[in-house]
Amino acid sequence: MKLSISSAAQVAEEWFNLLFTPLKASHYLELVNPLWNYRQLQARVESVWDETPDCRTMTLRPGKGWRRHRAGQHIRVGVEIAGMRHTRTYSISSPPERNDGCITITVKATPGGRVSHHLVRNVTPGSYLPIGLPQGDFVMPEAVPARALYITAGSGITPIMSMLRSMSANGALPDVYHMHFSPHAFNVIYGRELRQLATDHPRYKQKLIFTQAGDSSAAIVNHFTPAMTAEFCADWRDRDVWVCGPQALVDAVTVAWNEAGLASHIHVEQFHAALVAANTDVKGGRIRFKQSGREVEATGQTDLLRVAEDAGLNPAHGCRMGICHGCNAKVLSGQVRDVRTGKVTDCESGELVQICVFAPSGDVEIDL
Amino acid sequence: MSALKDRLTPDTLASFGREIDAIRDEVMASRGSSDARYIKNLIRTQRILAVAGRAAIFTCLIFLPDAYVGIPSWPAFWVLIACGTASLGIAKILENMELGHNIMHGQWDWMRDPDIQSSTWEWDNVCPAEQWKHSHNIVHHTWTNVIGKDNDIGYGVMRVFAEQKWHPYFLTQPLSNLMIALFFEWGVAVHDLEVYKILLGKKSLRETMPLARQILRKVLPQVSKDYLVYPLLAGPFFMPVLAANIIANLIRNLWTYMIIFCGHFPAGSNVFTAADVQGETRAQWYLRQLLGSCNIRGGKLFHILSGNLSYQIEHHLFPDMPSNRYQEVSPRVRAVAARYGLPYNSGSLIRQFGTTQLRILRQSWPSKPVNEDPGTTKPNHGLDAAS
């Protein structure tokens, strides 16, 4: 009987898992050290550092299963607030060359942002956060291009910082132009490090623009314009541009590059802003059923189960009154309103919802 | 039993429903970090108890005279194996009742923690979670105590209410009762098959085969774990390990049987017909849950070990409310029941379990339904056996 090493290992693993069924060994290992969680990646907060009054860098030690990131990539981070887990995406600001097993993320407390506020103010060293694997294609090509142009604003500098640190660690920054917008000179994130980089690497051309400074001589114009780019970087048409920042900046850059016929040069990184405040007005919208591809208009008065049935679908259901959770379905995007209480909740993508007692509030995409 | 349901005028009934709704809304809106801490600590405690139990069961082996270690001590052996078995049994009880049953009800879905979701939790017994969620969450909680619809009334093999039609077969039910008690997790495993319907010819064997295969896929690893793999690990000393695991499972079976049978069978519980529940409003559903469920009095530890099913009434009114909140909600529900002149069936474990056993014995013989007048509820008293 042929028994290869891998199949023998598989058999051994199956018998080993029987010791813990229906759980896995990981469930018990976690009791000793949360970082030994093989099923769900965790990270320990090793230290925190306040870059500015409202911006904090957290040094995280990822647990088992982590793989090295590429400069510019991001991770999903989960944080528990009042018992409930919220998930947001943050760029990794540390370079992949860092070899002490840690990464850093830099979080800015956005005004009205519940999760960012909690991360910046309440998460202490020694706590554990669930994280995802690094993702994203906002990266430099493997063979570093001869010329790149970075346009960043505020906390949008984080993925670029990873790139700059990476290139710096590998010797010298190549011919790179970097325009960074920041409100004031005194609260530029990584301010000191940026100035040091500019001093150490003559081929790294940096321009800091202060959007809220009064009549500072350094600020010629305060917000992005195509003319500003041309003046700063003469050969901007020949460069690939990486832009990361608020919606307005990304839009302005995209428009400018499209008009110049250079849409293929743009690399954008953007994370969804905090969702709109929930309103309790009954609001209809377009309901899209992902699996069947159907789309219907809904008034917002009827629960999603009936909307689906009226659209010709036959979703699983049970008591039809919000007791048994037999109708749980995944809402991929949008807001839903609990018809029992009137409360509107936004669904973080993939949230399971009892469709017999939830009506749509606005456009909704549902996995049915 | 319709006399009971007609006790409240439509307006009063609607008002009753609104009051129960208000309690629910208030508690659900106040779920927060202390609730999250509760369930996470409980999961942690349960897993530590399981590991400690298994470790003790293996450690005791070194005190056997035949063990090569050379420190024979029968007292040490017996103490360790007893503690280990008890710890493992309690771990299984906690996992099945306070964790598994409640998590699968969706009580903790609000946390958005992927480890504690009703959609993915698989519990430590031979019943597949999918089938349990169907037979319990959907069928039992929707059709609670409706004769002919709620499969939990007698579990297809016993007659526990006079309203069920008598048949000579039920004369054997004291034996079924004993078997169900000893092998409770197996009864739960096949519950969704509705075997009695297959035997009565109402369901074909063929249509239940997929469910049967699903059960087998759960049974094989569970049985292998406790009765094969762990004993084999002990080599020549497999016997104590095997016995300990059998007894731990037995402890869980007997305890869960006792608590669950006290949920709807004690004296004073009510059953309903399908006609009674036609067109049922939410308020009527609340009323049926109240009239058909029974609580057990006890201390805090008892409540946790019973998976808070000692608060059966509160659980049936609010199946997806985190179980740690039933205790605070119970006095409020009791007060509402008193104000509306409704019974609130609560008694000691001896009273509830005792009357349940008497019921099983009594209903194995022919009997006619008695139209009981439940009387009004006295403040601070449930429907005790004395009244």
Closest residue of chain A to B320, computed from CA coordinates: A323
Contact (CB<8Å) B33/A80: yes
| pLDDT tens, residue by residue, A254-264 | 999 999 888 88
Beta strands A351-354 and A328-338 are antiparallel
The structure tokens listed for B244 are 């300990």
Residue A217, pLDDT above cutoff 80:
no
ipTM exceeds 0.85: yes
Residue B58, pLDDT above cutoff 80:
yes
| pLDDT tens, residue by residue, B6-35 | 779 999 999 999 999 999 999 999 999 999
pLDDT bin (cut points 50, 70, 90) of residue A276 is: very low
- Helix runs in chain B, H state only: 2-5, 10-29, 33-59, 74-94, 102-104, 129-132, 141-142, 173-182, 184-190, 195-199, 205-224, 230-233, 238-261, 282-292, 300-305, 312-317, 326-339, 349-363
Across chain A, mean pLDDT equals 88
Q: Who wins on pLDDT, B93 or A232?
A: B93
Contacts of A321 in chain B (CB under 8 A): 282, 285
Name the residue among B33, B34, B114 with its Cβ closest to that of A40. B114
Residue B378, pLDDT above cutoff 50:
no
Query: What kind of fold does domain A38-130 have according to CATH?
Result: Elongation Factor Tu (Ef-tu); domain 3 (2.40.30)
Contacts of A323 in chain B (CB under 8 A): 137, 141-142, 319-320
Residue B228, pLDDT above cutoff 50:
yes
A68–chain B Cβ distance below 8 A for any pair = no
Can you tell me the distance from the alpha carbon of B60 to that of B72, in angstroms, rounded to the nearest whole number?
10
pLDDT bin (cut points 50, 70, 90) of residue A283 is: confident
| pLDDT tens, residue by residue, B299-319 | 999 999 999 999 999 999 999
Contact (CB<8Å) B282/A325: no
> Chain A neighbours among B 214-253 (CB < 8 Å)?
221-222, 224-225, 229-230
Q: Check residue A135 and report its DSSP letter.
A: B
User: Computed from CA positions of residues B213, B214, B217, B220, in that sequence, does the dihedral angle turn out positive or negative?
Assistant: negative
In this structure, which long-range contacts are made by residues A196-201, counting pairs with CB atoms below 8 Å and at least 24 apart in sequence?
A: A197/A164, A197/A168, A197/A173, A200/A168, A201/A168, A201/A172, A201/A173
pTM: 0.89
* Cα Rg, chain A, nearest whole Å: 25
Name the residue among A23, A27, A83 with its Cβ closest to that of B35. A83
pLDDT score for A277: 47
Buried b (16+ CB within 10 A) or exposed e, B351-376: bbbbbbeebbeebbeeeeeeeeebee
pLDDT score for A273: 53
pLDDT bin (cut points 50, 70, 90) of residue B377 is: very low
Q: Who wins on pLDDT, A283 or B303?
A: B303
Residue B2, pLDDT above cutoff 60:
no
Q: What's the structural domain count of chain B?
A: 1
| pLDDT tens, residue by residue, B273-302 | 999 998 899 999 999 999 999 999 999 999
pLDDT score for A4: 66
Percent of chain B with pLDDT over 70: 94
CB A242 within 8 A of CB A154: no
Contact (CB<8Å) A84/B105: no
pLDDT bin (cut points 50, 70, 90) of residue A352 is: confident
pLDDT score for A244: 94
pLDDT bin (cut points 50, 70, 90) of residue B387 is: very low
Determine, yes or no, domain membership for B10. yes
pLDDT score for B5: 62
pLDDT score for B16: 96
Percent of chain A with pLDDT over 90: 51
Determine, yes or no, domain membership for B285. yes
| pLDDT tens, residue by residue, B90-122 | 999 999 999 999 999 999 999 999 999 999 999
Contacts of A15 in chain B (CB under 8 A): 229
Contacts of A318 in chain B (CB under 8 A): 134, 137-138, 142
Contact (CB<8Å) A84/B282: no
pLDDT bin (cut points 50, 70, 90) of residue B4 is: low
| pLDDT tens, residue by residue, B333-353 | 999 999 999 999 999 999 999
Residue B372, pLDDT above cutoff 80:
no
| pLDDT tens, residue by residue, A29-86 | 999 999 999 899 999 999 999 999 999 999 999 999 999 999 999 999 999 999 999 9
Can you tell me the distance from the alpha carbon of B10 to that of B284, in angstroms, rounded to the nearest whole number?
10
Contacts of B47 in chain A (CB under 8 A): 23, 27-28, 31
pLDDT score for A142: 76
Query: What kind of fold does domain A285-366 have according to CATH?
Result: Ubiquitin-like (UB roll) (3.10.20)
Across chain B, mean pLDDT equals 92
Tell me which of 3.30.420.310, 1.10.760.10, 1.10.10.10, 3.40.50.80 is the CATH number of domain A147-269. 3.40.50.80
Start-to-end Cα distance in chain A: 46
User: Any idea which of A4-13, B249-258, B262-271 has the lowest mean pLDDT?
Assistant: A4-13
Which domain, by its residues, includes B238? 1-30+126-387
User: Any idea which of A25-29, A100-104, A343-347, B183-187 has the lowest mean pLDDT?
Assistant: A343-347
Which of B334, B341, B379, B332 is closest to B22 using CA atoms?
B332
User: Where along chain A do its domains lie?
Assistant: 1-32, 38-130, 147-269, 285-366
